Structures are given as C-alpha cells and as structure tokens.
C-alpha cells in the first residue's frame, strides 16, 4: 500500500493519466494499492484476467482498467491504454519522498589522501576508499561500503550500504549497486597438482557500463585476464552469480538466483528467468528469452527456451504433457498385455 495525506480527486487522476473516467469526478483518493490490499479511498489496477476474482472482491474506490473493459464492478473505473503504467504514475504521487543524502564526507569514513572525489559526493559512515580511487560527481557511497585501490566510479551512482567494489574495477555513470553486492571478487579458478588444488591468478577486472542496476548480494567476479563486462542498461536481480570473463549485453535482464559460468557471452536484450544455470563458454544470442529454472548447456540463438537441458518452449511444454500422461499410458499397456496374455 502507498498512502499519504495529500488527496487527488478521480477527475484529477483521469486527467493526469489521459484516462476515461466512469464514476464521480469529485471522489477523493488518498492512496494506491493492489486489488487484494486496497481499501476505500484507494485506487488499484487490473489488466490480467487471472486477477478477475480479486477484481470482483476489491474494496478499492477506483480501478485502472484497459480501454475495452466493459464489466460493472461496483467501483469507479478509469480506462487507460496501460493500467499498470497509469497506476505506477499515480502511486508515485502518493509515495514518500525518496531518501536524499546531503553531499558531505562523514568523519568516520577512511579515505586515502590520493582519492579524487567529484563535486557533491556523499560518503556515509564507516566507508573505506583506498588509494588511487576516483569517485564521480554526485555519487553516493553508502555506509560500511568498501571501494578498493584504483577503482573508478562514474558520476551519479548510488552505492548502497555494505557494497564492495574491489581493486581496479570500473563503474560507469548512474550505476546502482544494492547492499551486499561484491564486484571484483576472484574468479573461481584452480588447477589440480600433485600438491593439491593450486589457485590460478585472477588478474583482470570487472567493467560495468552506464545505467546498470545490480541487486542485493549479487556477485560479479573479476576476469582471469581482461575483463568481466556488464554492458550499458543491463539489470541484474538479487543473488545472481556472474563468473569470470562473462559478457552481458546491453539492456539484458537477469532474475534472481541465476548462475552464469565463466566466459559465457550473453547478448543484448536477453531475458533470463530465475534460477537459470548457464554453463561456461556458451553464447546466448540477442533477444533470447530463457524460462525460470532452465539449464543452458549449448549456444542459443534467439527464441524462447525452457527446461533442462534447454529446448524450445513449445517442445518443452509437449514433453511435460507427455510425462504427465505416462501413468495413464502405463495402465493402458498393462491392460493390453493382460488381454494378450503377456
């Protein structure tokens, strides 16, 4: 639920979202919430038939609906092109103001004398910034974060509390790193020798381009040599593992608990669902979509893929249907064998 003291009338909301109102223009709305959680004087939204039951039961005073919506639900409706986006627009009007940190260096921060700080940088309590680091203008470094030697962080970034950016890594402009992110830990490289496992030196870096956002407790390992590269506009969820020398293309989206092994190359505008596993050295082509819990063991070049090992979505659904009918087929075979005396 999103709620504040300032109210908007339904007439104002319809005008702001270019919507067609069916209801009392003077009704006041004080907040925004989901269909299941909304109460009187709040607004919600509906766009997917799977939520029809919640729509019929909602206590919201008004609901954003698609242009072709024709049902009578008892609440006022505002018909718009995109109910979810219209709801988001109005929900932001009721949301609390975002937390802002004033440009300053907290006295508990430990900053080497060689560090270069741009204008209006905010460094919060107990931050450590090592020698040779450069921090761009307007960037915020959250409490307890660690910025390693010779790291470069561009302007307008938000580094949330307790994030780690290790030595020599490069962060572009307007990057968001959420709490617990580790950028530049060693890649997982060992060789078995007569004396046991011997560590393979990991001497590369991580490069993160502009407008990337990385979720809490995600890890992006430095390259064995060269770079692990997250390209412009990529969005990575919480608890994702990106191994050494991986390349993730522009505007790709990766959901939580995905693991990407070393030297995999992910194209542009790829969509990867939660808990996907991708083996090393494979290539995922531009525009590919990979369903949740898929195991990728070969190159994929476009299309929608699912299951383990990954197959085209239509084929995966067919296989699933066959498996679910195996019990029925088994009983039929038993009956046939009995008739034949086998």
Residues 45-60 have a mean pLDDT of: 95
pLDDT digit string, tens, across residues 67-77: 999 998 999 99
Q: How confident is the model at residue 2 (pLDDT cuts 50, 70, 90)?
A: low
pLDDT digit string, tens, across residues 89-132: 999 999 988 888 999 999 999 999 999 999 999 999 999 999 99
Residues 192-207 have a mean pLDDT of: 96
What sections of the chain are H helices per DSSP?
10-16, 52-57, 83-94, 313-324, 326-340
CA distance 235 to 148: 23
The better pLDDT of the pair 85, 72 is held by 85
CA distance 45 to 88: 9
Q: How confident is the model at residue 321 (pLDDT cuts 50, 70, 90)?
A: confident
Residues 81-95 have a mean pLDDT of: 96
What is the percent of the chain where pLDDT is above 90?
A: 86
Residue 5 has pLDDT above 70, yes or no: no
pTM of the predicted model, to two decimals? Answer: 0.87
321 burial class (0-12, 13-18, 19+ CB within 10 angstroms)? Answer: exposed
Judge contact between 178 and 163, C-beta under 8 A.
yes
Which residues lie closer than 8 Å to 64 by C-beta, 6 or more apart?
17, 19, 43, 44, 45, 46, 77, 78, 80, 83, 84, 86, 87
* pLDDT at residue number 315: 87
Q: What is the DSSP letter of 272?
A: E
Query: What is the DSSP annotation of 159-170?
Result: E-TT-EE-TT-E
Judge contact between 216 and 179, C-beta under 8 A.
yes
* pLDDT at residue number 339: 87
Active site residue: 113, 149, 244, 281, which one? 244
The CATH class given to the 110-315 domain equals: mainly beta
Residue 1 has pLDDT above 60, yes or no: no
Q: Which of 319, 325, 295, 327 is nearest to 309 (CA)?
A: 295
Is the bond preceding residue 210 a cis peptide, omega within 30 degrees?
no
User: Architecture of domain 2-94 in CATH?
Assistant: 3-Layer(aba) Sandwich (3.40)
174 catalytic? Reply is no
Residue 45 has pLDDT above 60, yes or no: yes
CA distance 141 to 86: 33
Side-chain half-sphere exposure of 129, counting CA atoms within 13 A:
29
**Sheet with strand 140-141: strands edge to edge:** 122-123, 140-141, 158-159, 176-177, 213-214, 235-236, 253-254, 271-272, 289-290, 304-306, 311-312
CA distance 305 to 276: 11
pLDDT digit string, tens, across residues 16-28: 999 999 999 999 9
Q: Picking from 165-169, 181-185, 294-298, 312-316, which range would have the lowest pLDDT averaged per residue?
A: 312-316
For residue 197, give the 3-state DSSP assignment: strand
pLDDT digit string, tens, across residues 220-265: 999 999 999 999 999 999 999 999 999 999 999 999 999 999 999 9
Judge contact between 238 and 217, C-beta under 8 A.
yes
Judge contact between 198 and 190, C-beta under 8 A.
yes
pLDDT digit string, tens, across residues 124-154: 999 999 999 999 999 999 999 999 999 999 9
Judge contact between 84 and 65, C-beta under 8 A.
no
Domain borders along the chain are 2-94, 110-315
CA–CA–CA angle 232, 179, 130 (5° rounding) = 80
């Amino acid at each position: 639920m999103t709620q504040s003291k300032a109210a908007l009338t339904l007439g104002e909301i319809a005008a702001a979202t270019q919507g067609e109102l069916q209801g009392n223009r003077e009704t006041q709305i004080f907040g925004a919430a989901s269909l299941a959680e909304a109460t009187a004087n709040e607004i919600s939204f509906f766009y997917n038939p799977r939520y029809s039951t919640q729509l019929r039961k909602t206590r919201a005073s008004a609901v954003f609906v698609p242009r072709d919506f024709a049902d009578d639900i008892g609440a006022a409706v505002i018909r718009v092109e995109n109910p979810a986006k219209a709801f988001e627009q109005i929900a932001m009007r009721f949301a609390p103001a975002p937390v802002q940190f004033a440009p300053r260096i907290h006295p508990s921060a430990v900053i080497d004398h060689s560090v270069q700080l741009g204008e209006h940088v905010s460094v919060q309590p107990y931050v450590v910034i090592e020698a040779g680091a450069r921090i761009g203008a307007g960037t915020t470094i959250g409490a307890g974060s660690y910025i390693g030697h010779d790291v470069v962080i561009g302007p307008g970034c938000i580094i949330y509390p307790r994030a780690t950016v290790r030595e020599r890594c490069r962060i572009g402009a307007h990057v968001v790193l959420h709490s617990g992110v580790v950028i530049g830990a060693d890649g997982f490289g060992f060789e078995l020798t007569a004396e046991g496992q011997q560590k393979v030196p990991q001497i590369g870096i991580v490069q993160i381009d502009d407008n990337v956002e990385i979720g809490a407790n995600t890890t992006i390992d430095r390259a064995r040599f060269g770079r692990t590269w997250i390209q412009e506009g990529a969005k990575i969820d919480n608890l994702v593992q990106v191994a050494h020398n991986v390349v993730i293309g522009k505007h790709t989206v990766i959901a939580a608990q995905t693991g990407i092994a070393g030297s995999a190359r992910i194209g542009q505008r790829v969509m990867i669902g939660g808990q996907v596993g991708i083996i090393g050295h494979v290539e995922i082509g531009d525009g590919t979509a990979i369903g949740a819990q898929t195991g990728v063991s070969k190159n994929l070049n476009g299309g929608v893929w699912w299951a383990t090992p990954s197959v085209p979505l239509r084929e995966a659904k067919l296989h699933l249907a066959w498996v679910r009918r195996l019990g029925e087929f088994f009983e039929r075979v038993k009956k046939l064998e009995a008739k034949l005396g086998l």
